[in-house]
Amino acid sequence: MKTLGMIGGTSWHATEAYYRMINEGVSRHIGTQGNPELILHSINIEVMRSRDGDRIRAKYLEVARLLEQHGAQGILICANTPHMVYEHVQPRIGIPILHIADATGAAAQAQGLKTLGLLGNKPTMTGDFISGRLQREFGIRTLIPALEGQERSNHYVSKELTHGKFTPEARAFFTGEIQKLAAAGAQGIILGCTELPLLIRQEEVDVPVLATTDLHARMAVDFILEREPGTPPVL
């Protein structure tokens, strides 16, 4: 098995979910007598909340290099928004970063979905690191909420979900936005905040949801087990 480096902490709730799902996924393949070798570095979430791009990029590069030096053969960033550092960090290290948009795009292609709605915090929805990569690598078009919906989505993500707070009000808001995006032509919905799958379940909405946390964890399991793309998932 390959050794995976994990960059977590944004938030620790999401990191905990990643750690559990990766271990469970590997165990389904090798049995409970063993577990994968993981190297986890948990970053203080205040680095991301600073909105200082130079500081964020420098920190993720520093941690990625440390993980590589300590034997990681690949890196998983355990959240959506920090993938904004991918273009800066990947060329400066010698091991692959498993991109969350690639896991999402492959799952969408497998379901024949060509237009997706994207929910998350404002940087994730309005930035290029998810939607742009989906367009470039998979030919997938992305829709996002109107400005008011972006602001409210950002509020719930940054002020509630990443603090471990999951309320009926937030659930009602996001299910409403999913309905709006579906009416605008979205064939599926990207739950582009690592905590959103903890709030919204597939059975609660009428369109396919792509839970980036789950899909990214499956990609990590396949990497650890050196499984070929397209192999039936173990999660």
Q: For 100-133, how does the pLDDT look when each residue is reduced to its tens digit (9 = 90+)?
A: 999 999 999 999 999 999 999 999 999 999 999 9
- All structural domains of the chain, each given as residue ranges with its CATH number in brackets, are 4-99+214-225 (3.40.50.1860), 101-211 (3.40.50.1860)
pLDDT class of 1 with cuts at 50, 70, 90: very high
Predicted local distance difference test score (pLDDT) of residue 117? 97
pLDDT class of 198 with cuts at 50, 70, 90: confident
Residue 232 predicted with pLDDT over 80: no
Residue 42 predicted with pLDDT over 90: yes
Residue 149 predicted with pLDDT over 60: yes
Q: Which of 89-93, 134-138, 201-205, 225-229 has the lowest mean pLDDT?
A: 225-229
Predicted local distance difference test score (pLDDT) of residue 197? 84
Alpha-carbon gap, residue 78 to 213, rounded angstroms: 8
Q: Is the dihedral of CA 46, 100, 125, 59 positive or negative?
A: positive
Tell me the pTM.
0.89
